[in-house]
A and B are shown apart, each in its own frame.
Chain A
Amino acid sequence: MNQQQKRQREMQEEYRELIQEIKPKPPVLRNCILAFTVGGLICLVGQIFLHLYSTQGLGVKEARAATAATMIFLGALLTGLGIYDVIGKYGGAGSIVPITGFANSIVAPAMEFKREGFIFGVGARIFTTAGPVLVYGFLISVLIGIIYYLVH
């Protein structure tokens, strides 16, 4: 009995060590595979719309803009329905990086803080994440434009 218990304890310790050795690695790999799959699938849906709009006779830029708007609509709708949260749970960055994630970052806080009213609740919270994105997006855009203007 005593030896058996000792052996069991040793095995448990070995098992614990083994787990600690392996533990930090699988989540990263697993997260990456999930992010790749979910992000790739979202882009695949985007490609289907892009294909659809280009074959409808829209120009390259117009088809791209229409695709972006469609994906934003879908991202916002799925967030409202509570489905995007589920996608985000598995997809990680795969659900954040696509433009549907941008739509999610707009709807989620606005929905949550609706109680604070339509001005400081919905109106302000819409830009919780979209605000910084647009601020730095415009800054870098104008900076690039000015540099191009000065160089040429």
Chain B
Amino acid sequence: MKFLLAFLVGGAICTIGQLLMDLTRSSITPAHILVGYVTGGAILSALGLYQPLVDLGGAGAVIPLSGFGHSLAQGAIEAARIKGLLGAFSGGLEATAVGIAAAVVFGYVMAVIFNPRG
């Protein structure tokens, strides 16, 4: 059941992105989509609207980039509660440190090892 929900919630979140790309006239690039999902996910998370989605969909809500925004927002809120203003600055990075480091390290290694095709 968890797996089906992950598929459905993740699929639905991605479909919204597809609609944004197909139905808006202005040329929306993948970069716009990714930035929009991170900020949108963070705002929804701060308003308490994203956690229910994570509870329902599991990885279906965590794996889309809005889940990255959710981690950024929750990290900042939690750290701000414990450490005050300094926490507001450190919390987001702390909560997403593994993902960001993984992205840079794996991204670098793959880019160096492989060459583009065609």
Chain A residues in contact with chain B, CB under 8 A? Answer: 27-28, 31-32, 34-44, 46-51, 61, 64-69, 71-73, 76-77, 79-82, 85, 92-94, 96-103, 105-108, 110-112, 114, 118, 122, 126, 128-130, 132-134, 136-138, 140-142, 144-149, 152
- Interface size on B, as a range, is 35 or more
The reply to whether A36 and B115 form a contact with Cβ atoms under 8 Å apart is: no
A129 CA / B22 CA spacing, docked (Å)? 20
Among B21, B22, B111, the one with the most A-chain Cβ atoms within 10 Å of its Cβ is B111
Output the least CB separation between B77 and chain A (Å). Answer: 5
Residues in A with CB closer than 8 Å to B104 are 106, 126
A sample of 13 cross-chain residue pairs with beta-carbon separation below 8 angstroms, ordered by A number, consists of A32-B15, A36-B12, A40-B10, A48-B3, A61-B95, A82-B116, A97-B65, A99-B63, A99-B64, A107-B107, A133-B34, A137-B96, A141-B76
Min CB gap A96→B, angstroms: 5
Partner of B77, one of A42, A67, A99, A145: A145
The interface residues of chain B lying within 8 Å CB-to-CB of A46 are 6, 10, 59-60, 62-63
Partner of A80, one of B6, B7, B12, B111: B111
CA distance A134 to B72 in the complex (A): 10
The residues of A that contact B69 with a CB separation of less than 8 Å are: 137, 140
Q: Given that A51-B2, A112-B116 are known contacts, is A72 also in contact with B76, CB under 8 Å in the complex?
A: no
Provide the residues of chain B in CB contact with A98, threshold 8 Å: 10, 14, 63-65
- Max count, chain A CB within 10 A of own CB: residue among B10, B33, B92, B117: B10
Across the interface, name the chain B residue whose C-beta is closest to A123.
B108
In the complex, the answer to whether A39 meets B110 with C-beta atoms within 8 Å is: no
Whether A97 contacts B80 by the Cβ 8 Å rule is no
Lowest 7 CB-CB distances: which A-B pairs, in order? A43-B10, A39-B14, A145-B88, A141-B92, A40-B11, A145-B76, A80-B114
**Cβ–Cβ < 8 Å partners of A61 in chain B:** 95
Q: Output the least CB separation between A8 and chain B (Å).
A: 35
Contact, CB under 8 Å: B2 / A138 = no
**Residue numbers in B under 8 Å from A126 (CB-CB):** 104, 107-108, 111
Q: How far is the CA of A131 from the CA of B63 in the complex (A)?
A: 19
Contact yes or no, B108 A43, CB < 8 A: no
Kindly identify which residue among A36, A82, A96 contacts B34, using a CB–CB cutoff of 8 Å.
A96
